[in-house]
Chain A
Amino acid sequence: MTVETRRVARSWNRYRTRALLGQWLVHGLLILIGLACLIPMLLVISISLSSEGALVKEGYKLWPVGFSTAAYDYILQQPGQMLRAYGVTGFVTIVGTGVGLLLSSMLAWPLARKDFRLRGALSFYVFFTLLFSGGMVPFYILVTRYLGLKDNILALILPYLVTAWYVLILRTSFAQLPTELLDAARIDGAGEWRIFFRIVLPLSKPVLATIGLFFVLRFWNDWFLALLFINKAVLYPLQYLLYVLMRNITFLASNPQTTGMPIPTQSARMALAVLAFGPALFSFLLLQKYFVRGITIGGLKG
């Protein structure tokens, strides 16, 4: 080995070591940032599994202190309100996502069709709602006074069914479908509705999955409509129930005197949060890739 090659080899090695060190540093930083994102959730889970006495004495810890499932036992013994809220949220999420996806697609498909005469005007009609909004006050008065939907489960569904942003993402995706297939179907005598249901929708499964996921999260995580329109406890959705319980945990105990059990205030509160984000977390882990795709298609240009 000549001196020259040895020198080159040494500098190459140095370069590689530095590059590797740099890589480890980047991994280290990302792990730290990632953990910072997860720690609040881990903390809440840990509190929910701690015993009330230990929490009072030692404070919250990242690892359960005096491990106990008393909080969950307590909630499961008072299932009425919690179950109802799950029921309301589940119903709203399923119906809202199904109907919302259907109506949004039905609006998006004509907007994607070059031979639709109202395409330009209707695209603007949809788009304008992204730029300007009447805000909360007229919306509130409309729904409560003119539609009479106060304390009505429809108030938790109808306002979110058609959202300009989702319609525009769907339109962009529909416009990219191969026209040959549609022409062939037309020659075979298929009508517009048949083409839409038999060709357009089945060919658009990925974008429907993405928008469907947006809908699911929107309905599952919604507290806004309940905050405005729901006063009756039987119609509380999950997120709104959590908000009420944050202010007043005793609300959960339908009759605190007779149950006789002291309420594990701190841990029960956190256990409720865990029970509410558990399903959202689960669906997120399953469907994350659709979500990332949705951001990259729709993130910039509708």
Chain B
Amino acid sequence: MQARNTKSPAAKPDFMARLMGSQRSWDTNLNLFLMALPGILLLLVFAYLPMLGLVIAFKDYRFAEGIFGSAWVGFENFRFLFGTDTAFRITRNTLGMNSIFIVTTTVGALAVAMLMNEVYKSRMSKYYQTMLFFPYFISWVIASYFVFAFLNGDGGIANQVIERLGGDPPSWYRSPQYWPLILTLAHIWNSIGFSSIVYLAGMLGISPELFEAAKIDGASKLQQIRYITLPLLYPLIIILVLLAIGRIFNADFGLFFFVPRDTAMLYSTTDVIDTFVYRSLVQLGNISMAAAAGFYQSTVGFVLVIAANWVVRKINQDYSLF
């Protein structure tokens, strides 16, 4: 009797506390879920529903019948897409230009980051960063005006320079052979500030003692770069390059659409998967073709991202996306 008396007052609050606790935890979880709900729904609509919509690549899409009403056609759309030269052209341009961008931007950004690292303590370094970073804030529509100011047939700066040197300036917007170079320059211009900051952050993380020791041993600046900076940055470089390779199937639509001003005569070097999908979809209304190319891009892109991430994970788990 006495034992029961002593036991129950002790047990009661404990039980109550547990009940209250789980009640509170239920409340907490419910409220947190409600808080997240609008975001969850927006992602559902704008990210997940389009994933399901990829099935239209296997349908003969008719606007009136919608996605569900349109008839299945199996691989017909793909046969049509890969039966043309276009599929090869857009794949080559996308992969080719993105490869050039990866190499040039990595080398350029590393070089700029090294220069910035040398003068990091100077008051000027802030101004350099601002100047280099500025293009990143400019949309491709406006950048296309910038490029136009250089390449315009009447009065463009590039033409004036070539004429001054005694050359005969080409008609840029009619000469596809120059565009890989022009697009590469535009891409470096746009991205160098951003990319160099990531590398600079990596360099600033290197212990200064290493450089002091090297200086005492009489190592020149170039030797210090070759034997200290670069080896210590390799993991970061490899990882950023691999992640870029994971996205190699996705071109920067704005760059390839606005900078060449959507000029048909330049398509042989400037048309990429993204611009082709847009043109087929909105300008030509060829939804089946656009859907097939889009499906091709989404799935190959997904495989590449997973593969690249798998490799990154092998090298260094901290840098992998998942």
Contact = CB atoms under 8 A, between A and B. Distances in A.
A35 to B, nearest CB: 7
Contacts, number: 288
A125 B132 CA distance: 36
B19 interface: no
Contacts of A135: 50, 54, 277, 294-295, 297-298
Given A126-B43, A299-B198, A136 B302 contact: no
Given A30-B128, A135-B294, A142-B50, A239 B139 contact: yes
A211 interface: no
B51 A134 contact: yes
The bracket for how many chain B residues form the interface is 35 or more
Contacts of A239: 139, 141-142
Interface stretch (A66-74, A75-83, A222-230, A256-264): A222-230
A138 B49 contact: yes
A217 B119 CA distance: 29
B137 A295 contact: no
A243 B295 CA distance: 28
Given A59-B160, A139-B46, A277 B38 contact: no
Contacts of B258: 223, 243, 246
A37 B142 CA distance: 14
Given A29-B115, A246-B148, A138 B53 contact: yes
Main secondary structure of the interface of A (DSSP, over half): helix
Interface residues of A, number: 99
B31 A134 contact: no
Interface string B57-91: 10001010011000000000000000000000000
A281 B290 contact: no
A137 B39 contact: no
B291 to A, nearest CB: 5
Contacts of A111: 36
A134 B277 CA distance: 12
22 contacts: A27-B119, A37-B134, A59-B156, A59-B160, A60-B155, A60-B157, A115-B25, A116-B28, A118-B33, A135-B54, A135-B297, A162-B46, A221-B139, A224-B254, A239-B139, A242-B142, A243-B258, A246-B148, A246-B258, A284-B133, A285-B130, A301-B319
